[in-house]
Structure 1
Amino acid sequence: MTGERPIRLAIVDDDPLVRAGLRILVGGSPDIEVVAEAGDGAEAVTAADAHWPDIILMDIRMPRVDGLVATRRIRSREGAPQVIVLTTFDADEYVLEALRGGASGFLLKDTPPREILAAVRSVASGAATLSPTVIRRLIDHVADPEAGTRRARARARLADLTEREREVAILVGQGHSNAEIAGELGMSLPTVKGHVSRLLSKLDLNNRVQIALLVHDAELL
């Protein structure tokens, strides 16, 4: 990242050893800088306001204010940092709720260090999304008695999209990058980026993950 400032990272976890381990991990990467640490969600919101991180690694289960509440509060603000949730179980229903609250993805706490750093860089670049496999695993493991209602609501929201916007939304839901969508639909990369931006605005969403989840809710895949 010569000539560019490092990615500003905040680490939120109630376990000091986890925070210390992540700080050591990041310390060997000149393109990522830890600018804040927090021990619960309330401290995370304060740290986000005070230090303006680009990315927050957010634990879910914490005392006082958990990561779900903190993620919603942080992501509801203008110019909010991206959030990657941390969890022990990939089928944890709390992770799905965090994604719906605006998180850009998740990492398991036993994720190899190289993959943690890669995820931070990917989300910071704006190119990150959850793979459809991950989304399906999350949804498949969550017992949701309101699935039918959610499907109807999702389809109603998508009904106002143009045919092209709908095609782009489905490809986002399938886990394709902007470049892959451009190739699939015969469009330029700036055009795809424009469609994604309009989708976010029209659907009142704040990242690609939420587009993917809405498409999955509508059962269009």
Structure 2
Amino acid sequence: MKRLPPPAGAQTQEGRMILLASDDATVMDRWAIAIGGRGTLVRRVTDMASVEGALAGRQPAVLLLDLALSDIAGAAGIADLRTFSPGTHIIAMSRQPSDDEGVAVLRAGARGYCNVHIDPRLLAKAVSSVQRGEVWVGRRLVDRLVSLVGATTAAPMAAENTADLELLTAREREIARLVGSGHANKAIAARLGITERTVKAHLGAVFSKLDVHDRLQLALLITGRLHRDNGAFVGRDTA
């Protein structure tokens, strides 16, 4: 799984309640065991009305939301839930994960997307990550998001980001821009007449020089959807 960098103003929310929402008691038992620990307050609910009430009243730090829950209405339901507690980080839990569903729930405001039966150790990491303001998604979904970023109209690149690219060699800039256009390593290698291994080596240098963590953050930087704030990268709303 990939953890993406926090947006501007993200704050750690340790110590606040974690809300579990599913009509499957066995699933919630597994989640509770995975995230339970000293100082962790866990509450369980089994229907949408209770989810809404808990969000409005307790404003939990994290909501683990079973997408099979009755009356949720998919991504639209997530967008609605966020109005009850905008500060709650929602991790959408799917019984049949797909890239399309993942993109939809993230666009609706979810901060994570996992299989309902995710390994408990990974679930604990996912919860910790979103509490720090990060986003937790699978590697394949990251690749899909990079492609979507490259396929949409880019915002003008911030001046400070253009200056950052001057840190790169000509070849590194070429590869970085191709990543920003949504190209995979194999396509980049074929286009430039080099091996995928060489592409990966150049990307490692690019990540280090630009202080980015992954392809998605690089693509957001290249397309002008990421800029620096006091030295840290933050997202830019281009909607």
Under a length normalisation based on structure 2, what TM-score does the superposition of the two structures give? Answer: 0.58
The 8 Å contact of residues 67 and 93 in structure 2, kept in 1 or not, is answered as: yes
Structure 1 gap ranges (5+): 141-146, 175-179, 205-221
The 8 Å contact of residues 12 and 56 in structure 1, kept in 2 or not, is answered as: yes
> Which secondary structure state, in structure 2, belongs to the residue aligned with residue 65 of structure 1?
coil
Q: Which residue does 1:32 correspond to in 2?
A: 40
Partner amino acid, structure 1, of 2:209: E
Choose from 196, 201, 210 the match for 1:185.
210
**Change in 2 beyond 3 A, CA 1:127/1:62:** closer
**Change in 2 beyond 3 A, CA 1:162/1:12:** same
**Cα distance between partner residues in 2 of 1:10 and 1:126:** 17
Q: Deviations over 1:118-155 (max 9, x none)?
A: 11011101233435533336899xxxxxx8xx977x31
Choose from 9, 13, 19 the match for 2:22.
13
Choose from 19, 23, 42 the match for 2:32.
23
**Cα distance between partner residues in 2 of 1:191 and 1:181:** 20
The 8 Å contact of residues 56 and 85 in structure 2, kept in 1 or not, is answered as: no
Q: Which residue does 2:53 correspond to in 1?
A: 46
Q: Which residue does 1:130 correspond to in 2?
A: 137
Higher relative contact order (CA 8 A, sep 6+): 2
The 8 Å contact of residues 90 and 111 in structure 2, kept in 1 or not, is answered as: yes
Aligned residue pairs: how many?
177
Structure 2 gap ranges (5+): 1-12, 166-176, 185-204, 213-227
Q: Which has the larger radius of gyration?
A: 2
The structure carrying a bigger helix percent of its residues is 1
**Cα distance between partner residues in 1 of 2:66 and 2:146:** 20
**Change in 2 beyond 3 A, CA 1:63/1:165:** farther
Superposition CA RMSD, Å: 4.0
Under a length normalisation based on structure 1, what TM-score does the superposition of the two structures give? Answer: 0.62
**Cα distance between partner residues in 1 of 2:99 and 2:140:** 15
Q: Which residue does 1:203 correspond to in 2?
A: 238
